Structure formats: C-alpha cells, structure tokens
Structure 1
C-alpha cells in the first residue's frame, strides 16, 4: 500500500512524538478541496476532523464550515470563521442539528449563527429565544442510503431531518414567527451511487416547490465516498458527474421559480479521510491456535470505525530497524483494550478476519490508512487511555497540531467526594 509520507518521516515522527500518533498530510487535503470547488460553495462538515489546524487550513483554502454542536461553533470561531448573516452573502458558519441544547441556542444568538433546522420544534425554540432570521431546513425525503445501516441518514427509521410531508407546516410555523425558510438541505447517507443520487436530486426539486420564489440556496449535503480498498483507488467517484446531477436539479428549480439558486456541497470524509494515518507500534506478536495476532498500542479508543461499522482500512508495516519486509503472513490486527471487539481487521457484524501483511516483529510500526475522517474525531478515554497526539505533514516537515493528553489532563475534571 502506497502513501504520501516517506517511511523515514513516519519513523522520525513516531520516535519524536510517540505512538499511537495521528498524521495528516496537508497536500492531500488541498487536492481534495480543489476537487469539489466546482460547487458554488464548499462547506466542510468539521465533525469528520475538528482539529483546529485542519479546520483553519480548510478555511484558508476558501471553504466555509458546518457545525453540529455548540462545541463545533466554538471550534469554528477559534479557527477563524466568523458568525453573522448578511443578505446575499454565504454564512461562514451554519449550525446543522436535529435539536438545540441550551448552549447551542445561546451561541447561535450571541454570534448570529445561521441555522439549518432538522426538527420542527427547533423553529419555535428559536423564536421563543428571541432569534428571528432566515432559515434553511434539512429535509428527510423518505428514503436513504449508506455503506452501513449506521450511516443511513434518510427514511422513516432515521432520526435526521424534517419529514418531507411536514415542509408546509414548517413554512407556516416560521412565517407565524416572522421568519422565512430560504434554503433546503438534503443529506441522506454516505457511499453515494449516481442512480440513487438522481433520486435525491428529484426529491430536492419536489421539495423546492413548497418554497417557491423564497428559495435561494440548496445544499447537496455530504456523503461523497473515498476508495478505502486499494483495488478501488483507480475508480474514484467522478466529482464532475456528481456536480452535474445537482446542477441539473438546480437548473430545474431555477426554471420553476425564475431566479438563480446557490448550490452548496457539504463534504467531510472526502476532504480529510485520505490525508490521515494512524501510526501504531506492534507490541506483541502471538499465535492463538492457528491464528497469528499483531497487537498494537492503538485500539478502538483511537480509531473506532472498524469496531463500530466493520469498516476497512488498508494497513502497512514499516520495519523499525530498516530491514526488508519480503515475507507475508495472514494476521489479525488488534488493539490493547480489555474488549474482544478491539480488532481492526473485522467486518460488519463483528466478524474477525485476517489480513495478508508483511511478517513483522515487536517494535515495528503498523500504519492504518485513510483514517483522517472519523478517526481522532471519534476517539475516547475508554479504559482511561489518553488521546493520541495529532500532527500535520506540511512542506516536508511534521508539525505538532495537538499534544498527547497527559495523565493530569485525563483526571483534571474528576472529583473524589467524602462518602
């Protein structure tokens, strides 16, 4: 498996910052952003990778940002995005969620953050909190799609978005509170194919008829896939064809309402997944019956996707001593956690599988590829493990962008009470 960072750099970074370690390749992010800038606006779904240096880089590349929590609003502001809504200008931050908690409501009001509403109740809650602004609504068209049941965000078993039959009621509710709905958003799952995408575009055109001439913006949402398997690398999604389907929908809407409509896309995974590597050290090599196990110092507390979704990540091995790795073995790759599910080579449903890998030894580095999206972002302190350090490979150098959590930081919010 090839990657964009030299082995010598990986070895040096692991030696300097320890393992497990995250590395993001700046050039890969820049290429991905350029791919999707055929759209009028690229709005980064920062939940995929909220590291401040990554979010700031994407801002400098001309993108705006989506926030799905109060904390993400704070991160966006810290990374240099500004609140505020001006007629005719694209808001730099949009809050997209299915609920407001009180922190989010307060920040939306304080910084005049644009809101993409995911539940009808949110409209009245905004009004009751003294906020009156133009809104966009996230529509659930009644169907969905995704590479896993856990990534399907449409249909009647999904919590996301406003049910398509309730759009009229939301328009009335907004207008009764002095607000107008001027945008539509539709994101219904990751792993899009074009036949399915055409149905989504048709659903957007249907939904637009409820807003008529008030409509000014449509968002294609996210879900653009990346090729996780090596054999898929030569068959990447055709971003231009993806755009053309949405542009055609936009033109149909414009013809109907008689004025221009702005077209946004909201990628997360596509912009950062391929830039990210999780570097771990092999700490044990052992036989369990007929199976060989490589046990790492990284677990699902670092990268949860294989355990959560059965997701595939390509794997490389780098010899710590520089020896040639010419022999291959079938191995299970697992982590250190006190959990049987802490396995990186598993399929959806928890089925453990082996992977053909170089014959390795304790001390060698094992690299999990395409881990920039929903990697560090979904890390946890389970088993009281510390968050790994994050770095960026930029202009031939490794720069630290988030320090490894200390034991003191791990414990700093705990309190022992008298019992």
Structure 2
C-alpha cells in the first residue's frame, strides 16, 4: 500500500530527526477535506478526533468552527484562537456538546458564554441554576442508531447520548420556564453513512422539529462521515453532494414549516483529519510462532488503540531503512511492545487476530500505519509507562514539530512518593 501524501524520503527524514514512533500530519489534506464540506452553512470540527493546537489552528484558518466535549477542549479551542460567542445571532465558534457538565465545564460555559448542545433535562436545569440564560441546541436520540462498531452507535435505547425523542416537549418547557429557548436541533446517531438509513434520520429530524415550534434556527447533521480505510474502498468515497442534498431538503422542509430560514451544520471529526496522518514505527523483531510470522514494532495500542478497541482496519506499508527493495509479500501479524495479548494491529472486532499481506522486512525497517489522524494520538495513553509520541506536521514541504515527545520526567511529574 502506498500513501502519496508522504514519500519514503519523508518517512526516513522523520525517523532520522524524531525517532520512532511518531505521528505525521499533512496540512494540505486537512484543508482539502474542509473545503469539500463548504456546501454546508457551517462546518464544525469535532475536535475530539484530533485536538492538537496546531491542527485546531489549521482548521480555524480553513474556515471551520469547533465543538468541545470537555472543559479541556474549551480551553484548547480558546488557546487555538477561537472566540467566545458574543450574542445568539452569531454562529458560535465553540459549542459545548457533551452528555453532562462537570463543575469545570459549566464554569467555563458561563464565563465565556459558550453555546451549549444539551443532552438531558438535567443539563438545562444545571445551566439555569448557574444563572445562564441563553439559547440552546438540543441533541436528540431518535430511538435508533447506526455505526461500523457497536461502540460507535450513538442512538437507540442502549445509547447514553441525547434526549429521548418522546421527552423533547418536556425539555422545551423546562428551558422556557427558565428563560431559555431551544433554537437548534442536533442529531448524530453513529459513524458510517448508509443513504437509505440517512433518509430515516432526516425523517426523524423533521419530526423532532415539529415539537419545537417556530423557534428553531439551525439543524445539525452531526458527524460520522466515513473515509475509505481499505485500499479497495479508495475509489468509492462518500458522495458529499448527495449527503448534503438529503440534509438540504430536510432543512428546506423545516424552514417552510416554521416560516423562516434554517441554517444547516455538519460536525465531522474523522472525515477532516483521518487521512491526513500516519503513525510511523520501527520493526524491532521478526519472529515465527509455529507457522505464524510476526513483525513486532515499537508502537502499541497505547499509541493507536483503534484496532484493539474497535477492531478497526488501518492500511499498513513498509519502508526499508536503507532504500533497498523489499522482499516478496508474506502473511504477517503486526503487534506492538505492550505486555498485553491484545496489542495487535492486525485484528478484527471481537479480538480476532488476522494476518496481512506485507513485504518481507528486516529489523530496523519502518512500518507505517495509514489513515491514523482521527482518534489516533487523541486516544493515546501512558499504559506500560510508555511516553506520548511526538506529532509532526508536513507544512508546505517542511516538517515541523507540533508536539514534542514526552520525556520520562514529564511522565511522572505529577506523582509523588508518600512518606513510609
């Protein structure tokens, strides 16, 4: 598998300058994906996918706004240059869109006048108790969901997300009783896009809008836009225009019903950043377990957890350390360094380990995990006391560090040894 975004020369340069493992992002790819979505009135980046400050700054410069699902993400958005909302007539540059308020989050929402996409009646009451009086968006659980994994399904009775569709009127009454109006509707029911299923979601949005009356000013299609992770899918990208057309018709139907214009927003995370980045690791062992061949690399699920957590597929390629031609393909299992049997990059949902056709490689060659920009670095951990890998940006042909490799001192800086 090849990735035209990053040449083999660039991969080797990255290894020479920063060691392994490391993440590398391409600015132009991020900007291109945002441009593809500009048919929507508002493109709102789900920063949970990749919250690095430089990435947020690129997204902002390209004309997209952001959501935040924690106090920390509000701070990140402000640090990256996004502004608090001055009045309800503006498109908010930051929207807090989580299932609860913790105490830090509600304080920041009040201090900076952050627009809120509420997911429960309790959130409305907590805003009122904090003295907040503002327009709100309401996240709706329409009673069904959809996703490429059970863990990415965000609708239906087993999902914690959103206000159950039959409770919408109660939330409207509660908001109005506290001097607030619900002016927006948000509906995100999982990742992946099936257009037949999407039509059902649009119907649910129309139905939900009828329960809000004429105050609705905006609808959000949510996120979940897929990208082609497998090589054979690359020629079958999602049809953004067809996706927009379905939602645009929904918006127009609602606008006709309420008697005024209704804005249309989309909230992607994966679509904007996934294809912009790869994770580069070094092969540290080549070994046989009976008839199975393993490449063991110096990146693990502490770096990229998606294969272990979701059974997600990431394309894999090999770059030789010295520029030599690689040997013929073999069936290989790719695994990491962690003291965990589940630390395997070639596995499917349910933990089933599978092989991948990869060139014959040697210790010291470099293994590249593709399309890793979304929920890659963002979900990294210090498990096994491993350090966070550096993040590098390919910016107009140059490589720039946008996060340094964590030091061992930083790994332990907030810990202390008690007196014994």
Tell me which residue corresponds to 1:203: 204
Are 2:395 and 1:372 aligned? no
CA contact (8 A) 1:36 1:239 kept: yes
Tell me which residue corresponds to 1:403: 404
CA contact (8 A) 1:144 1:155 kept: yes
Deviation at 1:104, TM superposition (A): 0.0
Q: 5+ residue gaps in structure 1?
A: none
CA contact (8 A) 2:21 2:279 kept: yes
The one-character-per-residue Cα deviations of 1:9-35 (angstroms, maximum 9, x if unpaired) are 110111111111000011111111111
Deviation at 1:347, TM superposition (A): 0.3
Matches of residues 37-116 of structure 1 in structure 2 within 5 Å?
37-116=38-117
Deviation at 1:327, TM superposition (A): 1.1
Which secondary structure state, in structure 2, belongs to the residue aligned with residue 97 of structure 1? coil
Which secondary structure state, in structure 2, belongs to the residue aligned with residue 327 of structure 1? strand
Are 2:36 and 1:35 aligned? yes
Tell me which residue corresponds to 1:292: 293
1 CA distance for matches of 2:418 and 2:369? 42
Which secondary structure state, in structure 1, belongs to the residue aligned with residue 97 of structure 2? strand
Are 2:384 and 1:383 aligned? yes
Q: CA RMSD in A?
A: 0.6
The one-character-per-residue Cα deviations of 1:212-256 (angstroms, maximum 9, x if unpaired) are 210001000000000000000000000000000000000110111
Tell me which residue corresponds to 1:392: 393
Tell me which residue corresponds to 1:347: 348
The one-character-per-residue Cα deviations of 1:137-159 (angstroms, maximum 9, x if unpaired) are 10000000000000000000000
1 CA distance for matches of 2:30 and 2:184? 28
The TM-score normalised by the length of structure 1 is: 0.99
2 CA distance for matches of 1:63 and 1:165? 33
1 CA distance for matches of 2:90 and 2:401? 35
Tell me which residue corresponds to 1:2: 2
Are 2:310 and 1:309 aligned? yes
Which secondary structure state, in structure 1, belongs to the residue aligned with residue 273 of structure 2? helix
1 CA distance for matches of 2:176 and 2:89? 20
CA contact (8 A) 2:67 2:97 kept: yes
Tell me which residue corresponds to 1:256: 257
1 CA distance for matches of 2:258 and 2:178? 24
Deviation at 1:326, TM superposition (A): 4.0
Matches of residues 217-256 of structure 1 in structure 2 within 5 Å?
217-256=218-257
2 CA distance for matches of 1:54 and 1:118? 27
CA contact (8 A) 2:327 2:361 kept: no
1 CA distance for matches of 2:86 and 2:245? 29
The one-character-per-residue Cα deviations of 1:256-289 (angstroms, maximum 9, x if unpaired) are 1110000000000000000010000000000011
Deviation at 1:341, TM superposition (A): 0.1
Which secondary structure state, in structure 2, belongs to the residue aligned with residue 99 of structure 1? coil
Deviation at 1:85, TM superposition (A): 3.7
The TM-score normalised by the length of structure 2 is: 0.99
CA contact (8 A) 1:318 1:365 kept: yes
1 CA distance for matches of 2:287 and 2:146? 40
CA contact (8 A) 2:88 2:135 kept: no
CA contact (8 A) 1:85 1:114 kept: no
Deviation at 1:2, TM superposition (A): 2.0
Deviation at 1:120, TM superposition (A): 1.1
> Which 10-residue stretch deviates more, 247-256 or 82-91?
82-91
Which secondary structure state, in structure 1, belongs to the residue aligned with residue 48 of structure 2? helix
CA contact (8 A) 1:213 1:258 kept: yes
Structure 1 stretches of at least 4 aligned residues deviating more than 4 Å after TM superposition: none
> Which 10-residue stretch deviates more, 342-351 or 78-87?
78-87
CA contact (8 A) 1:294 1:333 kept: yes
Are 2:165 and 1:164 aligned? yes
1 CA distance for matches of 2:298 and 2:16? 14
1 CA distance for matches of 2:408 and 2:319? 29
Which secondary structure state, in structure 2, belongs to the residue aligned with residue 329 of structure 1? strand
2 CA distance for matches of 1:288 and 1:306? 21
Are 2:129 and 1:128 aligned? yes
Tell me which residue corresponds to 2:326: 325
Q: 5+ residue gaps in structure 2?
A: none
2 CA distance for matches of 1:191 and 1:19? 32
2 CA distance for matches of 1:51 and 1:245? 32
1 CA distance for matches of 2:242 and 2:136? 29
2 CA distance for matches of 1:164 and 1:65? 25
Tell me which residue corresponds to 1:143: 144
